[in-house]
Amino acid sequence: MEHEDDMANPVGPAPLPVVKLSAPVKAEDFTFSTSAELHGTNWIGQDRALGALRMAAEMRHSDFNAFVLGNPGSGRRRMTRAILAEAAMNRPRPADWVYVNNFDAPDKPVAIELPPGMATKLRKAMEELIDELANDIPALFDSEDYQTRRRSIEQSYTEEHEAEMSRVFEQARARDVAILRTPMGFTVVGTRDGEVMTPEKYRNLSEDEQAAIDAAVDETEQELAAALKAVPGREKQHRRDVEDLNYAMATGGVDVAIRTLRESFSGIQAVTDYLDAVRGDLIENAEIFLVREDGAEAGPFPVATTRHYAKPRFQRYAVNVVVAQEGDGENGAPVIEEDLPTLANLIGRIEYASEMGALVTNFTMIKPGALHRANGGFLILDARQILSEPFAWDALKRCLRTHEIAIYSPAERLSLISTVSLAPDPVPLDVRVILLGERIFYYLLAALDPDFAHLFKLEADFNDHITTGSDGSGAYAAMIAEIARDGGLRPLDPPAMARIFNESHRMTGDAERLSLSLDHLSDLLREADFWSGSEGHDVIGAEAVEKAVAEREFRAGRLRELGAEAILRETLMIDTDGVRVGQINALSVLEIGGTRFGLPSRLTARTRLGTGKVVDIERETELGGPIHSKGMLILQGYLAAAYATDAPMSLWASLVFEQSYGGVDGDSASAAELLAIISSLSDVPIDQSLAITGSVNQFGDIQAIGGVNEKIEGFFDICAARGLTGRQGVLIPAANVKHLSLRRRVIQAVEAGQFRILPMRTIADGIEALTGTVAGTRLPDGLYPEGSVNRRAEDQLRAFAAKRKAFGRAGKEVRTDV
């Protein structure tokens, strides 16, 4: 009970005043009536990132691509779009690109670069050309001129053939020989008196007569064979004459039709060369225009009611538009965002169609990728997405390194298919790539990918916060006003703006910094606007902001409430009053999803005679993480240097988080662990109405920790539920005072004297605040003051050392007697 009396007059640090518990932002700091009067930008505090993005947008040298670093919700994508769109307006429009047939090597389509806006014109011009020829060529071959000239060739061939055969037949008759046509061909036989000689009559002839007939038959057969042998040559010449006629007719028709097209694109050499190839192929294959719809050939071509260009047999003359710049403006480069940067979506793909069980393709089935569409401009990609897509990152680097876009598929690269494919001409590449991603991706790529630093020379690092300025109604308030205006929300009054500032400090966990997480701020404003509208207000007030914050906490509060309920029902044992030796309330933060909340944990320590070992039960059971284990070793170093340095460390101590069944990490409980051991050693009880958080170094200095606001509020809520006594409070590192941005309920309790926030600079501050007893500093004689906590602890350690020495001597004597 003496210790409880000691605590009636507590020593140690003084509680923090209310003004230190949150950022001092008040409605009076703002001079506007509503935020509608403010105008600013959403880009404050991002000068570093803006400079890098503008350099990436305006730099003309290659390889100055940029990686935009920052957390999601920082507005990095919106800002990147705006800067690139502004820069794109001052760039010339890039060229159009088309793929056309390579008539000499159809598996290697030809890429043609065209001035902006000409790709669609070329495609339409080719469509009109083929449609025109599909009507004109059949008409030419059905014309009277063509039919006359064709009949002349046919008649010439027929007359020449008939004249030759007539000569052979006449000479045969003069020799008394007949040429007969049989199913097997021609046969030559002798005649007598105009009649074919039968075998019997032939045998009745004399040998001289038979010899004369045989000689006449042989000579006629030779002449017949010579005449028939000349037939293929004559037919070949006939076909050549017909082909020459057809070629001449087709040439005339094609030249007339293509002349206007050539004049339209006369200044583009690549198109001129292509049209020359088209002309030659059209003339050589004019017969495809003479095919009836039912497949019959060589007849008059009926005028079709549908477009001929779309028919499969005319696809060889198609123009596959890959990139087409629409509009008539002189400037304007593309800004392309690819949300799914697969290999095909990035570099393009070659599609296939199934025909008769086989996969077939042609140049019209080449599809462009994001690099084609962004060529000459900017391409925005998400780093996480492109790194997670197979082959996509490697393909992007190859394209940037070679400055050209070559289309291929993963199956081809891995040789998984044997289907004949295309090898299109690569397209020259001039693009600025902007990668957006978290910092971890940038640092991993910089460390592990040797190509990254060469290809992405610029980093646009977005700040997560800005330092609080002296003018509370300045740029940040204008930014809040712009967010509300852009979202079509109601304006804010000054109290609501002050409340938004407080919540922004809360987001950063620092009373001297304001959050630049535009998405979180926008979400909060929209929720506040909703509650303001539900109350029928025209302006967002502080009550609406408070309602939005409260509703957020309520929606995400189920787990926090379950933890508090377990403590209030004493399922989890936490004391908020009384005193106890070796027992302390440590504070921790739980983060699940997007929810963070604090809960107290009971930490206990037991000590006895030993060999200088401090047992961390969490570590022994493999529940403690490496940082927690580091904190344990640090406090061992403090104990060894602070107490009984002239005697062996004869301590055995055990530490554990009671009723903790999960992993424990971090060093924010190391101060609590040290104080629990000191309490157990000195037999001085700890005030259970206080909780503590903070890490300690080997010199006993208290170091800053994270989540200080949530930890304080977690213990406060338990105390408030049980009833505030005015003695309850939390000890925090003095270095964390600048991070305080507590909820109003805590501030009001402190203001009413019902709760305390105590700053610690050294472990001595914690000892005095928790025990109500002076910690004590060494006197000139090397001892701590009598009655101090440190003296009691040191005396106990000396006693342990003496007992250990005596025990060792007794053991030695026993062994000697034996």
Kindly report the number of other CB atoms within 10 A of residue 157's CB atom: 17
The one catalytic residue among 522, 711, 741, 788: 711
d(CA 160, CA 707): 109
Report yes or no: 619 and 639 within 8 Å, Cβ to Cβ.
no
- 711 counts as catalytic: yes
Q: Could you tell me which of 567, 436, 538, 367 has the C-alpha nearest to residue 76? A: 436
Beta pairing class for 595-609 and 583-592: antiparallel
Give Cα 574 to chain centroid, integer Å.
46
| Burial annotation 427-442 (CB, 10 A radius, 16+ → b, else e) | bebebbbbbbbeeebb
| Burial annotation 29-46 (CB, 10 A radius, 16+ → b, else e) | bbebebbeebebebbbbb
d(CA 651, CA 637): 13
Beta pairing class for 349-350 and 366-367: antiparallel
Q: Could you tell me which of 319, 344, 348 has the C-alpha nearest to residue 426? A: 348
Q: Determine phi and psi for 695, rounding to 5 degrees.
A: -105, 160
Q: Could you tell me which of 496, 88, 81 has the C-alpha nearest to residue 327? A: 88
Report yes or no: 283 and 317 within 8 Å, Cβ to Cβ.
no
Written as six digits, the tokens of 235 are 């037919």
| Residue found under tokens 């008394």 | 176
* Segment holding 810, helix H or strand E: helix 789-817
Written as six digits, the tokens of 52 are 């890098």
Q: What single letter denotes the amino acid at residue 139?
A: A
The one catalytic residue among 74, 668, 670, 695: 668
Give the SS3 label for residue 600: strand
Q: Determine phi and psi for 491, rounding to 5 degrees.
A: -70, 165
Q: Determine phi and psi for 625, rounding to 5 degrees.
A: -85, 175
Give the SS3 label for residue 342: coil
Written as six digits, the tokens of 198 are 């039968």
Give the SS3 label for residue 616: strand
Q: Could you tell me which of 768, 700, 692, 699 has the C-alpha nearest to residue 736? A: 692
Report yes or no: 238 and 157 within 8 Å, Cβ to Cβ.
yes
The radius of gyration of the chain from alpha carbons, rounded to an integer in Å, stands at: 48
Report yes or no: 142 and 290 within 8 Å, Cβ to Cβ.
no
Kindly report the number of other CB atoms within 10 A of residue 286's CB atom: 21
Can you point out the beta strands (E) in 341-450? 349-350, 353-355, 358-360, 366-367, 378-382, 404-405, 427-428, 432-437
Output DSSP code: residue 33.
Answer: S
Give the SS3 label for residue 514: strand
* Segment holding 387, helix H or strand E: helix 383-388
d(CA 71, CA 437): 8
Q: Which residues contact 619 (CB under 8 A, 6 or more apart)?
A: 628, 629, 632
Give Cα 621 to chain centroid, integer Å.
40
Written as six digits, the tokens of 611 are 């060999």
Written as six digits, the tokens of 160 are 């020449």
Kindly report the number of other CB atoms within 10 A of residue 508's CB atom: 20
Kindly report the number of other CB atoms within 10 A of residue 602's CB atom: 21
Report yes or no: 289 and 137 within 8 Å, Cβ to Cβ.
yes
User: What Å distances lie between residue 145 and 142, 249, 688, CA to CA?
Assistant: 8, 10, 117
Q: Show which residues are catalytic.
A: 668, 711
